[in-house]
């Protein structure tokens, strides 16, 4: 459902504990936080367009991924509820091992 404040927003965004912890730990890096929030906005408009090539994970087979520099955002789309859940954020080199 479109947001009253921003009519182009189609999906509501939620952060999981791991994503919140990442954001808390990187709060001092204003540039990174700003870029991640920009990506959040893009995901709330069209999460399918922002998805990179398939994310193969046994722990979350329906999850998608998107890129913010050297970091990856792992997320799940609940199409019926029009929600995007940010599952995790982390450096590219370790996020794939974590979610294998």
Q: What is the CATH number of the domain that holds 17?
A: 3.30.2310.20
Residue 4 belongs to some domain of the structure: no
For residue 90, give the nearest of 72, 78, 69 by alpha carbon: 72
Give the model's pLDDT for residue 1: 43
- Does the structure show a pLDDT above 70 at 8? yes
* pLDDT score for 49: 87
Burial of residue 75, with CB atoms counted within 10 A of its CB: 0-12 exposed, 13-18 middle, 19 or more buried = buried
- Assigned domain for 1 exists: no
Q: Does some domain include residue 34?
A: yes
- The reply to whether 7 falls in a domain is no
Q: Which of 26, 25, 96 is nearest to 60 (CA)?
A: 96
pLDDT for position 56: 81
Looking at the structure of the chain, the number of domains it has is 1
Q: Does some domain include residue 16?
A: yes
- Note whether residue 90 is domain-resident: yes
57 has a pLDDT exceeding 60: yes
pLDDT in tens, 32-50: 999 999 999 999 999 998 8
Which pLDDT does position 32 carry in this prediction?
Answer: 96
The residue range of the domain holding 86 is 12-98
Average pLDDT over the chain reads 89
* β-pairing verdict for 83-91 and 12-15: parallel
Task: Classify residue 30: in a domain, yes or no.
Answer: yes
Q: Which helix (H) or strand (E) holds 23?
A: helix 17-25
How are strands ordered across the β-sheet holding 64-68? 12-15, 83-91, 71-78, 64-68
- Asked whether residue 3 is assigned to any structural domain, the reply reads no
């Amino acid at each position: 459902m479109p947001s009253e404040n921003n009519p182009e927003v189609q999906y509501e965004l939620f952060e999981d504990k791991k994503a919140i912890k990442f954001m808390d730990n990187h709060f001092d890096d204003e540039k990174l936080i700003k870029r991640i929030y920009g990506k959040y906005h893009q995901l709330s408009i069209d999460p399918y367009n922002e998805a990179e090539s398939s994310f193969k994970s046994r722990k979350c087979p329906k999850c998608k991924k998107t890129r913010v520099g050297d970091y990856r955002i792992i997320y799940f789309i609940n199409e019926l509820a029009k929600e995007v859940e940010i599952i995790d954020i982390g450096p590219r080199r370790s996020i794939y091992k974590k979610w294998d």
